[in-house]
Chains A and B, each alone.
Chain A
Amino acid sequence: MNQKNFQAIYVLWLRQMKRFLRAKSRVLTTIVQPLFFLFILGFGFNIAVFPGMQGSYINFLAPGIIAMAILFSSMFTGVSVLWDKQSGFLQEVLVAPVSRLSIVIGRTLGGATIALFQGFIIMIIAIALGVPITSTGGLLLTLVIMVLLSFTAVGFGLIIASKMHDFEGFQSIMSLILMPLLFLSSMFYPVTESLPGWLQMLSYCNPLFYMIDGIRGSLTGVNNILDPLVDLGIILTLCIIIMGLGTYFFNKSEA
Chain B
Amino acid sequence: MDIITTENLTKTFDGFTAVDHISFSVKKGEVFGFLGPNGAGKTTTIKMLTTLLYPTQGSATIAGFDILKQRADVRENIGVVFQEPALDTELTGRENLDFHARMYGLSQEVRKKRVFKLLTLVDLLDKKDVLVKHYSGGMKRRLEIARGLMHSPTVLFLDEPTLGLDAQTRRAIWEYIKQLNKDENTTIFLTTHYMDEADFLCDRIGIIDHGKIMVMNTVDMLKKSIGNDVITLSCSDIQKLQKRLEQESWISKITPYASFLTLGVERGEEKIPAIFDIARTVNVTISSVDVRRPTLDDVFIYYTGRSMREQDHEAPHNGTKKPARFRLRWQK
Query: Interface of A with B (CB < 8 Å)?
Result: 3-4, 7-8, 10-11, 15, 18-19, 22-23, 87-99, 254-255
Q: How far is the CA of A93 from the CA of B80 in the complex (A)?
A: 11
Contact (Cβ within 8 A) B91 A18? yes
Residues of chain A within 8 A (CB-CB) of B105 are 3-4, 7-8, 97
Q: How far is the CA of A7 from the CA of B102 in the complex (A)?
A: 6
Contact (Cβ within 8 A) B52 A94? yes
Can you report 13 residue pairs joining A to B where beta carbons are below 8 Å apart? Answer: A7-B105, A10-B102, A11-B98, A11-B99, A11-B103, A19-B91, A22-B90, A88-B85, A96-B100, A97-B103, A98-B103, A254-B54, A255-B53
B282 adjacent to chain A (CB < 8 Å): no
Q: How large is the interface on B (under 10, 10 to 19, 20 to 34, 35 or more residues)?
A: 20 to 34
Given A7-B102, A97-B76, A97-B104, is A91 in contact with B52 using a C-beta cutoff of 8 Å?
A: yes
CB-nearest residue of chain B to A18: B91
What's the minimum C-beta distance from B95 to chain A, rounded to whole angstroms? 7
Given A11-B99, A15-B99, is A88 in contact with B84 using a C-beta cutoff of 8 Å?
A: yes
B8 adjacent to chain A (CB < 8 Å): no
Contact (Cβ within 8 A) B51 A95? yes
What's the minimum C-beta distance from B93 to chain A, rounded to whole angstroms? 14
Given A15-B88, A22-B90, is A92 in contact with B52 using a C-beta cutoff of 8 Å?
A: no
Residues of chain B within 8 A (CB-CB) of A8 are 102-103, 105
Q: How far is the CA of A124 from the CA of B311 in the complex (A)?
A: 62
Q: How far is the CA of A95 from the CA of B52 in the complex (A)?
A: 7
Contact (Cβ within 8 A) A95 B99? no
What's the minimum C-beta distance from B263 to chain A, rounded to whole angstroms? 45
Query: Interface of B with A (CB < 8 Å)?
Result: 47, 50-54, 72-73, 75-76, 78, 80, 82, 84-91, 95, 98-100, 102-105, 147
CB-nearest residue of chain B to A88: B86
Residues of chain B within 8 A (CB-CB) of A15 are 88, 91, 99
Q: How far is the CA of A19 from the CA of B91 in the complex (A)?
A: 7
A-B complex: 8 closest residue pairs judged by Cβ atoms: A88-B86, A4-B105, A97-B75, A96-B103, A11-B102, A88-B84, A97-B76, A92-B86
What's the minimum C-beta distance from B84 to chain A, rounded to whole angstroms? 4
Contact (Cβ within 8 A) B53 A95? no
Most chain B CB atoms below 10 A, which of A7, A89, A95, A96: A95
Residues of chain A within 8 A (CB-CB) of B104 are 4, 96-97
Q: How far is the CA of A8 from the CA of B100 in the complex (A)?
A: 9
Contact (Cβ within 8 A) B90 A19? yes
Q: How far is the CA of A151 from the CA of B75 in the complex (A)?
A: 28
Q: How far is the CA of A166 from the CA of B3 in the complex (A)?
A: 37
Contact (Cβ within 8 A) B52 A254? yes
Contact (Cβ within 8 A) B90 A95? no
Q: How far is the CA of A96 from the CA of B103 in the complex (A)?
A: 6
Contact of A87 among B51, B76, B89, B102 (CB under 8 A): B89
Residues of chain B within 8 A (CB-CB) of A97 are 72-73, 75-76, 103-105
Residues of chain A within 8 A (CB-CB) of B47 are 255
Residues of chain A within 8 A (CB-CB) of B88 are 15, 19, 87, 89
Most chain B CB atoms below 10 A, which of A10, A15, A23, A94: A15
Q: How far is the CA of A15 from the CA of B99 in the complex (A)?
A: 8
What's the minimum C-beta distance from A1 to chain B, rounded to whole angstroms? 13
Contact (Cβ within 8 A) A92 B75? no
Contact (Cβ within 8 A) B75 A95? yes
Contact (Cβ within 8 A) B86 A89? yes
